[in-house]
């Protein structure tokens, strides 16, 4: 694999991928890679870091217990691991569950309705990252600086190659840090619905990483133009608000609006990008996913619906 050779790995050496942050996106991303590569002969190890000590509240515990009993595969897995009893005790109020504890059983506290395969969870940051080859940053933007300053202290004496993929929109300060983003909702991506994303950064890393991350239902484009992608990311939120306002309009109105959005996006790309032809594909794919597949049914879309109803 090209990626392994770039990281200085030879045949038989394990490639370690570590997720930092275990919200919906961070958990889904590591779970997808684990599902895709976890059963391959080539050594590939994955772990995810989240802070310990976060208690799961009573309503979430009750809902999680319903999900467990409604899904035979999950129920059998927990019984086989002798882990089912603790969920019974938690449902009865005799035990407190913690977010890192349930993530080890495949439950992300931010997305209880979508059980994942069990993940290897580490709550000690130094233990999580000290020997990582690929670090996936899934932290909220306001938490990135303090956490990575601490990680930097662990890596001061490090001499081996590593690369960071950031799922949070931020400037990429070095050639070994890349940004991955797209108009996707984590749960739908894990349910194998079509999704697209773009990875921005140095050519040395982004092409092999795009190939590594791509799956049949998940298309990953690569480009080094982060600024244009950030501008278009904000613009797609505006489109999503307008789409929400068009909820009750005719198919013709929606088609006209979709055509207008495409034309506007192409025009801005021509003004903004040095090589606009390389951005046309991923940006139009993003627009399609945003507007036609309605995967932006988040705050912008709902805001548009609310405004038109008012």
- Per-residue pLDDT tens digits for 195-219: 778 888 888 898 999 999 998 888 8
pTM of full prediction above 0.85: no
Over the range 226-237, which residues count as b (16 or more CB within 10 Å of their CB) and which as e?
A: bebbbbbbebbb
| % of the chain exceeding 70 in pLDDT | 76
DSSP-based three-state secondary structure for 269: helix
Q: What count of Cα atoms within 13 Å lies in the side-chain half-sphere of residue 299?
A: 1
- The DSSP symbol for 133 reads S
* R_g of the chain computed on alpha carbons: 21
Q: How confident is the model at residue 174 (pLDDT cuts 50, 70, 90)?
A: low
Mean pLDDT of the chain: 82
**pLDDT (0 to 100) of residue 304:** 46
Instruction: Enumerate the active-site residues.
Output: 236
- Is 12 within 8 Å of 43 (Cβ atoms)? yes
Q: In this predicted model, what pLDDT tens digit does every residue of 287-297 receive, in sequence order?
A: 666 665 544 44
| Axis crossing angle, helix 280-291 with helix 226-245, rounded to the nearest 10 | 20
Q: In this predicted model, what pLDDT tens digit does every residue of 96-140 receive, in sequence order?
A: 999 999 999 999 999 999 999 999 999 999 999 998 999 999 998
Q: In this predicted model, what pLDDT tens digit does every residue of 18-66 receive, in sequence order?
A: 999 999 989 999 999 998 887 665 678 899 999 999 999 999 999 999 9
**pLDDT (0 to 100) of residue 252:** 76
Q: How confident is the model at residue 183 (pLDDT cuts 50, 70, 90)?
A: low
C-alpha–C-alpha distance, residues 201 and 198, integer Å: 10
Q: In this predicted model, what pLDDT tens digit does every residue of 232-249 receive, in sequence order?
A: 667 766 776 776 666 666
Q: What number is the average pLDDT over the span 305-310?
A: 46
For the chain, what's the residue count? 310
**pLDDT (0 to 100) of residue 253:** 74
């Amino acid at each position: 694999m090209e990626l392994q050779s770039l990281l200085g790995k030879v045949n038989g050496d394990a490639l370690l991928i570590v997720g930092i942050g275990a919200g919906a996106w961070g958990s889904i991303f590591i779970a997808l890679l684990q599902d895709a590569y976890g059963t391959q002969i080539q050594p590939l190890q994955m772990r995810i870091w989240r802070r310990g000590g976060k208690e799961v509240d009573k309503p979430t515990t009750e809902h999680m217990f319903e999900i467990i009993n409604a899904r035979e595969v999950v129920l059998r897995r927990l019984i086989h691991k002798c882990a089912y009893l603790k969920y019974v005790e938690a449902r009865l109020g005799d035990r407190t569950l913690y977010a890192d504890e349930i993530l080890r059983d495949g439950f992300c506290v931010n997305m209880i309705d979508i059980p994942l395969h069990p993940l290897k969870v580490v709550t000690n940051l130094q233990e999580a990252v000290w020997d990582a080859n690929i670090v996936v940053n899934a932290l909220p933007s306001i938490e990135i600086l303090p956490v990575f300053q601490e990680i930097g202290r662990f890596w001061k004496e490090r001499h081996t190659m590593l690369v960071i993929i950031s799922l949070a929109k931020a400037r990429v300060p070095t050639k070994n840090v890349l940004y991955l983003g797209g108009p996707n909702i984590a749960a739908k991506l894990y349910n194998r619905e079509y999704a697209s994303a773009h990875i921005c950064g140095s050519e040395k890393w982004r092409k092999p990483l795009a190939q590594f991350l791509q799956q049949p239902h998940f298309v990953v484009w690569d480009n080094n133009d982060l600024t244009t992608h950030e501008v278009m990311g904000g613009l797609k939120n505006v489109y999503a608000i307008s789409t929400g306002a068009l909820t009750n309009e005719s198919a013709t109105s929606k088609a006209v609006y979709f055509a207008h959005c495409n034309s506007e996006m192409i025009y801005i790309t021509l003004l903004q990008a040095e090589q606009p032809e390389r951005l046309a594909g991923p940006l139009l794919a993003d627009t399609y996913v945003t507007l036609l597949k309605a995967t932006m049914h988040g705050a912008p879309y709902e805001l548009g619906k609310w405004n038109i109803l008012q």
